[in-house]
Each structure stands twice: as C-alpha cells, then as structure tokens.
Structure 1
C-alpha cells in the first residue's frame, strides 16, 4: 500500500514537471540554458549598441572635421577676389601655370592675358602658401571640392565688400561734397551720372564735369562723351582733378579710393583718418598706442592681418577701384559690364599699369606710388613681423 502511495506520489511529481527548483526556473524565464542564451543575446546587443555609438561618434567627428575644412577653404578664399584676381577663377590660373610646364609649349609666345594669368598664379601661391602642395596631394574630386569652396568664399567676400561700400561711399560723398539732395545710402538709382556728386567722380578725368556741355553730353551719351573703361575716372585722382599735360600726376591718389581701400582691408573707422598729403605716421602712432592699451584683450583681426599682407599690391588697388566705381554707379547688382563700361577691361588696365610699366623710369614711378600707398595704409607700416610675405 505504501508502495502504491509512494508510486502515486512519484507519478504526481513527474506530472508536475519534476524538481521544484525547475519550476522556479520556468517561472523566471525557462531553463538554465534559455537564461544563458538571453544573457548572451543581451550582451551582444549591448556590444552592438556600443559599436554603433562609436561609429556615430566617428561619423560626427568626421562630419565636424569636414565642416571645419570647408570653413577653412571658404575663409581662405575670401582673399582671392581682393588680391589675386577679381574676375579670373582659380582654375584659369592653375591651367595657365600647368600650360607653362608643358614641354610642348616651352618656346611658344605668350599673350598679355596669359602673362596676367601667370602672375595671378604666383600671387595666388603667395596668398595661399599651402595651395600648390595641397592641390597636388588631393584626389580629383576633393580638389574640385576645394576649388568650389575657395570660389564660394571669394564671391562671398566680394559681395560683402560691395554691400559695405554701398553705404560708406554715400556717407563720404555727403560729408565731403554736401550734395542737395544727399546721396541715398540705400537707393542706387539716384547715383551714377544722374547725381551731380557721383557724376563728378565718375567723369573721365580729362573732361570738366562743371562744363554744362560735358555734363549734358555724358548724360545723353552723345558722340565724344560716351564713358568707357578706356578713360580713368576722376575719383582715381588726387583732389579729383588731373593735369592735362601729365595724366599720371596724382593718379591712384584719390581720397575716396584710399578710403575704400582702408574700409575693406583694415576697418571702416580707419577710413576716416585719410588725409591727402599725410604720411600716416600719426595714425600708426595711434595704432601702437591702441595695441598697448588693449594688451591681453582678444581683438578681431582685419583682412590685411588675416591674409598676412605687409604692403599694398597692384591687384588690391585694382579691386578697390572697381568696387568704388560700382558704388558710385546706378546699377543695383554686381556685373562685369555697365552700359559702355567694361569692369573686366578696367581691372586689367589698372593691373597692367602697375605690373607692366614701360621702362626703368616708369618702374621707378610705380615703385614710388606703391610705397606711397603702403605709408598711407597704416596697418602695413606697423607690421614688421610680416616681412616674409608679398
């Protein structure tokens, strides 16, 4: 009897699943092997999550590094229109330099335009010393991306300067000439030859704007009075007038031209210190005093410091000449041609005037003129540590 009971009890235990401890395991999630499997899966999931997080961090770091590189290229590109080439692209300069290293072109004569491009490439490598080495090391797609970002920065800087000078030029004209009505800082339609003050500055230097016949002829675009890039406008000259017997006298010494240069390459406030016949020493002294007083304070760098210019260059003068001319004009958006006036030809004429003087005496005059500019643009005379550049 006891055997039957014992057997029945044993049978009941087997029906219930055996060992009570196994019942607890089932309630907790299954057999020991299943529990181990779950733990292993969870461990793998944690490792995968950690791996994905690491990959995400790597991607974000790479994206951040790429963005920093893009920002760097764009910042460096801001110098290109200003000091290298206003209208030529980097690709054009590189292509001309490459052509010169082609043996098949070694003895071939070059044109004036090709020589201008080659000089532009030299200025490019002086302005961006890393460009040649970096360009040679990059894959083609990365190289194209770099060029695109440089161009974007260059065009952005040109647009910023155009916007800045639009307002500043009107302020300078109103302060100096006191026209009635004043030149509107926002409305460009009232500028150009319709404005007496702007017309005086845009008038070809060999003509007298105060002569009613000249003024009417220019406004009507009559024969003999069509204004083109072949004549230097009055704003390029000292006191905005020229000597009919010597058209180089006072050329590129115009006050508003110098103001425009300082506003772009140093600061708008520095443009107020322009004096026609000064040597810049007072402002240099003020700059040194300001440096001492601001010792230990982080000061925003101006364009000349950023691109490490130590002297005024021909192409930077040509750039400002075009920007000031545009600010005086009535056209509302940047373009290379304004009626009969071609800005590309104008820029090239000024560059050639400085870079291709005919003869030793002309070279001497150009050197003296550039020294005059360097004295007047005060940041340069006060930066002896930059003697290795330009």
Structure 2
C-alpha cells in the first residue's frame, strides 16, 4: 500500500524481491542430499577404521612391554623417571631409579618409535597411548601364563618322570607339595632329596625360607648347582630355554634346542633344519613381530618368572608368593646381566648371551656383520690389495 511522504505525495510501493533460486526437481535435490550424507558416513567410517587400526597396532606393540622391558613396573613410572633423569643430569640416582631408567632405555630399543611419538602427543593423547600399550602388555602375560601352564607340566612329566603325573589343567597340586616341582623350585644351596630340607620347606620353618634371594634349581644346567661355583651352569637350564622358545618363537619349537657349538651336533642340526623347512609357517612368531634377533637379559628374566609361576601352585599372577617376591627376583636376574662387577664378569655374561642366542635362533649371524667386521673379510681385503698394487705400479711409472 502507498504511503504519504513528508511533502504529502504518495510513495510508490517497493518492487518485489527477485528470487535467486533456479528451480530443480525434488527428486534431484533428494539424491544430492543422500549422496552428501553417504559421503559423511564414509568419512566417519574411515575415521573409525583409522582409530581401530591405531588401537590394534598399539595394543600389539604393547605385548613386548612385559616380555622385554619391565615385569610389573607401570609404563608411566618409566616415562616419569626418564623425565626426571633429563631434568637432573648431574644429580645422584638411587639403584631403583637407575633400574627404572635402564627400563625406559630398553623400552625405547624394543619400540624404536615410542620416544619420538610420546614427545609429539598432547597429554590426553599420550595417556591413551600408554593405556593401549598396557592393555597389550597384560594380555600377553596372560597368554604366556596359559600356554606354559600346560607345557611346563608336560615337560616336567617327561624330564623328571614323577610317580604321579602332573595334570596340565590343574595347578593346585604343584609347588612344594609335588616332588617333581619341589625339586625344581628348591633353592640351589639345598638338596631337595634331603628329608630335613624337604620337610623344612614344606612346613615353612625359619631355617628354610624360600625367597627371591636364592636361585631356584630349575635355573641350572641339569637342575643342579655347584656350591663352590654358583655361576657355573646358571641360566643354562633346558627347561628355561624351552620356556623361552615357547614364548618367543613358538611352542612347537621348544623341543628343537640347538647344541652347544662343539661341532659334534652338526648332523642333528642339519636334520632339524630340514624338518623345519618341510613344514609351512602359518603364524609369525613373537620374536619376529617385535623384531627380536638376539636374546636379551630382560627376556630371560621374564621367561624365568613365567616358568617359576608355572611350577608353583598359585593360580593367578601376584607380586609376592608366600616369601618369594617376583619383582625382586626379576631384578636379580636383570642385574646379573646388566650390572656385572667387572670386565671378566662382563665377558662371561656376553658369552652366556651368545650361548642363549645360538640356542634360540640357531647359528645365523648376519645381524653381526657390522662394517668393522666386514672390512677384515677377504672381499674387502682383496680390494685393498689390488688398490695397493695399482698404486705401486703407478708410482713405479
């Protein structure tokens, strides 16, 4: 409707608004909306799949944590100790703090991506990462416990031939109540066959306290220790090697233990190699997944704790079993290898680790072909000799 302006004249009405839309069919618009929604759904699916893949990867990588770096120590404690070491480079550190720091360094070797990844994440993201790694770590320990519960019973039945066979599905009748298990768990400084020792251990008297301060007999070659040289044969137990292989290579490989390298076992080794090559490999072993090429002290300590638990009558993982502390036991093994008292002990430790690597992974040493080794081999030596002859001929001309 027209309005009067200030001069009394009628103002014409405003022109109608011009529509900018171009008419389309309802069907076409609906199709385009549907396509946009489908694209959004696909993007959400992709995001979910990426998150699932990351979760699966981190959980899988976490399976190496307990086996290779720390038996019980929370991963947060390892990270916190590394931060403390960085902030206090010149300060004094306790033995426990140094143990934690060595654990963090070992973790960084086992998971080479971990240190840089952790530094790039925000606090909430790093917490989520550590949570996934712990989930994998605890799952791996549970899997190994279940596997060795049956295998150790079978091995002890074969090795010790007890009058009453150990049941593979039952742990209540193991431990010191069982003669075969008791002999293997008995501290190296005592003889299980001595009735006084056996009764004292079973009655838990103060004269026969079984703790982590004694090496169990199952840790020794032929399950016997030399009281005058307690290092002799230690960590050379067949049961310990079999348990290690069951965890890190495969349960089926546990009975295939290579010889000691004196040359007398070459025929048997070749026969084993042919038998292995005749069987298709259907599952990647733990050692391959985590990139293990050599046996490490912490892996030996982990296997020893698992074997000790399998021989005992406790049914669920715990830090302390009666008077025996698994965490300190694990520390004792790691300290034996990682903190020897001098050069001679270090040489013996290195020789023992070489023995272990040969037992578990055979005699392939390609990973040891470092530049300082290769340079002394005949191909390089010949190249150097030829070059020297060329230089001599050039100088004579």
Length-normalised TM-score, structure 1: 0.84
User: In the TM superposition, what are the counterparts of 1:112-151 in structure 2 within 5 Å?
Assistant: 112-151=95-134
Cα distance in 2, alignment partners of residues 329 and 293 from structure 1: 37
1:72 maps to 57
The superposition leaves residues 141-164 of structure 1 with CA deviations (integer Å, 9 ceiling, x where unpaired) of 221111111110011011000000
The superposition leaves residues 326-346 of structure 1 with CA deviations (integer Å, 9 ceiling, x where unpaired) of 000000011111011000110
**Runs of 5+ in structure 1 lacking a partner?**
1-35
Contact 1:96 1:114 in 2 (8 A): yes
* Count of aligned pairs: 348
Instruction: Specify whether residues 386 and 151 from structure 1 end up closer, same or farther in structure 2 by C-alpha distance, changes over 3 A only.
Output: farther
Instruction: Specify whether residues 101 and 163 from structure 1 end up closer, same or farther in structure 2 by C-alpha distance, changes over 3 A only.
Output: same
User: In the TM superposition, what are the counterparts of 1:40-189 in structure 2 within 5 Å?
Assistant: 40-102=25-87, 105-189=88-172
The superposition leaves residues 272-299 of structure 1 with CA deviations (integer Å, 9 ceiling, x where unpaired) of 12377567866764575467657xx664
Deviation, 1:40, is 3.8
- Corresponding position: 1:384 with 2:384: no
Contact 1:310 1:387 in 2 (8 A): no
Contact 1:310 1:386 in 2 (8 A): no
Deviation, 1:180, is 1.8
- Corresponding position: 1:313 with 2:319: no
The superposition leaves residues 33-81 of structure 1 with CA deviations (integer Å, 9 ceiling, x where unpaired) of xxx96x5443322211111100101111111111011000011111111
Instruction: Specify whether residues 195 and 120 from structure 1 end up closer, same or farther in structure 2 by C-alpha distance, changes over 3 A only.
Output: same
Cα distance in 1, alignment partners of residues 65 and 51 from structure 2: 22
User: RMSD between aligned alpha carbons?
Assistant: 2.2
Contact 2:200 2:208 in 1 (8 A): yes
**Runs of 5+ in structure 2 lacking a partner?**
1-21, 371-397
Cα distance in 1, alignment partners of residues 182 and 259 from structure 2: 21
- Corresponding position: 1:260 with 2:236: no
Contact 2:187 2:216 in 1 (8 A): yes
The superposition leaves residues 263-320 of structure 1 with CA deviations (integer Å, 9 ceiling, x where unpaired) of 11111121112377567866764575467657xx664211111111111100000000
Length-normalised TM-score, structure 2: 0.83
User: In the TM superposition, what are the counterparts of 1:329-368 in structure 2 within 5 Å?
Assistant: 329-368=312-351
Deviation, 1:364, is 1.2
Cα distance in 1, alignment partners of residues 281 and 198 from structure 2: 51
Deviation, 1:222, is 1.0
Q: Secondary structure at the match of 1:179?
A: coil
Contact 1:310 1:383 in 2 (8 A): no
Query: If each structure's helix is expressed as a fraction of its own residues, which one has the higher value?
Result: 1
Q: Which moved more, 1:363-372 or 1:134-143?
A: 134-143
Contact 2:188 2:214 in 1 (8 A): yes
Contact 1:253 1:276 in 2 (8 A): no
Instruction: Specify whether residues 106 and 231 from structure 1 end up closer, same or farther in structure 2 by C-alpha distance, changes over 3 A only.
Output: same
Cα distance in 2, alignment partners of residues 286 and 377 from structure 1: 16
The superposition leaves residues 195-246 of structure 1 with CA deviations (integer Å, 9 ceiling, x where unpaired) of 0000000000110000000000000011210101110100000011111111
2:382 maps to none
